[in-house]
Amino acid sequence: MNTDSRYPVVSAKWLKANIKSPNLIPADCRFSLIDHDYGKHSYINGHVPGAVFFDMEKDLSSPDKSLGRHPIPDIDAFSNVLQDRGISGQSVIVAYDDDGSGAARLWFLLEYFSLENGYVLDGGLSAWLKAGGAITAELPSIKKTKLQLKAKKHMIVEKDIIESNSSAFSLIDARSPDRYAGEYEPIDQIPGHIPNAMNIFWKNMLNEDGTYKSPEQIRSIFKEVGKNPVLYCGSGVTSCVNYIAMRIAGIEPKLYPGGWSHWVKAISEQ
C-alpha cells in the first residue's frame, strides 16, 4: 500500500481512499490527562471504521512510574498490546486522536520498536469528518497476530546521559510557555524546566485545523536549535508532536521520554 508520503503523516483523503485495504488498521488514541476514561468512552461512542483503541495509561505507557508519568512500555508488553489488536509486521497503522498528542505518542512507539508502517492522520478525527469520513460504534473483528519487536535505543536519551553530557545536547521543552517558566504547574510537584532547555511549544507545530505545518515553517521554528536536539515535555507525550514535526522538516532529534515528571521525581528523591 503506497502512502505516497515521505513523512510520518497521511491525509484524511488518503485514509478514505484506503480505508478498506486489508492491511490498514486505524488506531484511536484519544485521551485526557484529567479523565482517564475519556478516550475509551469516546471510542465506544464512535470511531473510524475498523479502528482499534489504544489506552494511554494501560497500552502506551509502562506501569513503572519511577521513570516518569508515562514511561516507554516494556517491549514484550507492547508487543502483546499490538498482537491483541491484530497488528503484524505487514500492517499499516494510521493513528488518530482529537488533539494531536496521543496519535503522535503511538507513532513514536511504533517507530521506536521498529514497525516502519506507522503514520499519523494529519488533522486527526476532525479532518476525517471534514473529508466526509464515516463514524461507527461497531467494534472490529480482531485476529491475534504474532509479532517480534526490536527497540531503536538510539532514538531516546535518559536523564543520566543528559546530566553528564549537558553541553553535547540542545534540550527543547515542548510544554506550554507558562509551565516552562514555572508560572503554572498543574501536574508535577516542582515547577520550572531542565537547566539550559529552550521552549518550543508543541502546539506551534500545528496549523489551526490541527494539520502539521510545512517543512519550511517547521525548520524556521527550530532554526535557533543547536546540535543534537533532545525533546522532552511533562512525560513523553506532547514532545512526540515536536518529534514528528522535526522528522517532517528533515531533522533527526532524540527523545527524553521521562521528561519533567521524571526529572523532578529524581530531584525530590536525592
CATH 3.40.250.10 fits 9-151, yes or no: yes
9-151 and 156-268: identical CATH topology: yes
Each residue's pLDDT tens digit, 3-33: 655 589 999 999 999 999 999 999 999 999 9
Contacts with 117 (C-beta within 8 Å, 6 or more apart), sequence order: 90, 91, 92, 93, 110
Which CATH entry fits the domain spanning 156-268: 3.30.70.1450, 3.30.565.10, 3.40.250.10, 3.90.1150.30? 3.40.250.10
Residue pair 153/254 in contact (Cβ under 8 Å)? The answer is no
Neighbouring C-beta atoms of residue 21, cutoff 10 Å: 12
User: Is 29 among the residues known to form the active site?
Assistant: no
Residue pair 221/200 in contact (Cβ under 8 Å)? The answer is yes
Residue pair 118/8 in contact (Cβ under 8 Å)? The answer is yes
CA dist 34 → 31, 186, 187, 261 (Å): 9, 10, 10, 16
Rounded to an integer, what distance in angstroms lies between the CA atom of residue 211 and that of residue 123?
A: 4
Q: Please tell me whether residue 80 adopts helix, strand or coil conformation.
A: helix
Q: Please tell me whether residue 237 adopts helix, strand or coil conformation.
A: coil
Rounded to an integer, what distance in angstroms lies between the CA atom of residue 234 and that of residue 173?
A: 9
Rounded to an integer, what distance in angstroms lies between the CA atom of residue 223 and that of residue 47?
A: 38
Rounded to an integer, what distance in angstroms lies between the CA atom of residue 127 and that of residue 133?
A: 9
What pLDDT was estimated at residue 186? Answer: 92
Each residue's pLDDT tens digit, 217-259: 999 999 999 999 999 999 999 999 999 999 999 999 999 999 9
Domain positions in the chain are 9-151, 156-268
Q: Which of the 8 DSSP states describes residue 100?
A: S
**Active-site residue (options: 127, 233, 248, 249):** 233
What pLDDT was estimated at residue 139? Answer: 97
Rounded to an integer, what distance in angstroms lies between the CA atom of residue 222 and that of residue 243?
A: 11
What residues in the chain have per-residue pLDDT under 50? none
Name the one residue in this structure whose C-alpha cell is 517480534.
148
